[in-house]
Each structure stands twice: as C-alpha cells, then as structure tokens.
Amino acid sequence: MSQLIAIFFGGGIGSIARYSMGEMMQSFFPESPKSAIIGTLLANIIACLVLGYLLGKEIQPKNIFFWSVGFCGGFSTFSTFSNEVLQLIKSGQYLLVIVYLVFSVGLGLTALVYGSKLS
C-alpha cells in the first residue's frame, strides 16, 4: 500500500510540474504554436535525465516508486508527444515530424545516459 501512496504523490507532483512546464513555455513563446511541442520535449528530456540519475544512484526501492514511477511518469508524457506528432502529420509538416522524433528519442536517451553518469 505504501508503494501506491508514493506513486500517487509522486505522480501528482510530476503532473503539476509538467503542466507548469507547458504554461512556462506558453509564456516564453506566446505567439508560437510550437510552444506546446517545446514544453513536451523539455519535460520528456528532463524526466529522462532525472530517471537516469536516480537509476545510476541506485536509490532505495521504497523511493524508486515515488521518483521513477510517480514523478518521472507524471512529468513525462508519451501520449501528448504522440498526439503532437499525429497533428503535425495531419498538417503536412513532415520535416518537423522527423526533427521532433529524432530530437525526442535521441535527446531522451542521451539525457538518460548522461543522468546515470552524473550520479
């Protein structure tokens, strides 16, 4: 039961942080329709960096539920990323689709590895 509580609170905090990231990007780039994509990309990369750091630290199992499953799971967003890619495809922005996919996967994996080396 304590694992579920840790996931619940970590996920809630991560989700609020994710929402805040999106709002911040909207305020930095108010005229750009790409601000949502930038927010999603940054959130996913930061979540990968944090997860890599945590896994490299070999934190206690009781804390892994809060941080990795909860916080990183709530902060990162694959469904939003997938929807943004779909919308770009529908609007015919194929070059941006490719760039977004390469940056998301490439930078996400790089952040995960770099995070593990930071620990």
Per-residue pLDDT at 7 exceeds 90: yes
The one-letter amino acid at 23: E
Instruction: Look up the domain containing 33 and give its range.
Output: 2-118
Q: Tokens at residue 55, please?
A: 């896994």
Total tally of structural domains belonging to the chain: 1
Q: What is the mean pLDDT of residues 35-47?
A: 95
Would you tell me the crossing angle of helices 35-57 and 94-118 to the nearest 10 degrees? Answer: 30
Q: How confident is the model at residue 59 (pLDDT cuts 50, 70, 90)?
A: confident
Q: What is the pTM of this model?
A: 0.90
pLDDT mean across residues, the chain: 93
Within a 10 A sphere around the Cβ of 19, how many other Cβ atoms?
14
Give the helix ranges, DSSP H, for the chain.
Answer: 2-28, 35-57, 61-64, 73-75, 78-90, 94-118
Dump pLDDT digits (tens) for 72-116.
999 999 999 999 999 999 999 999 999 999 999 999 999 999 999
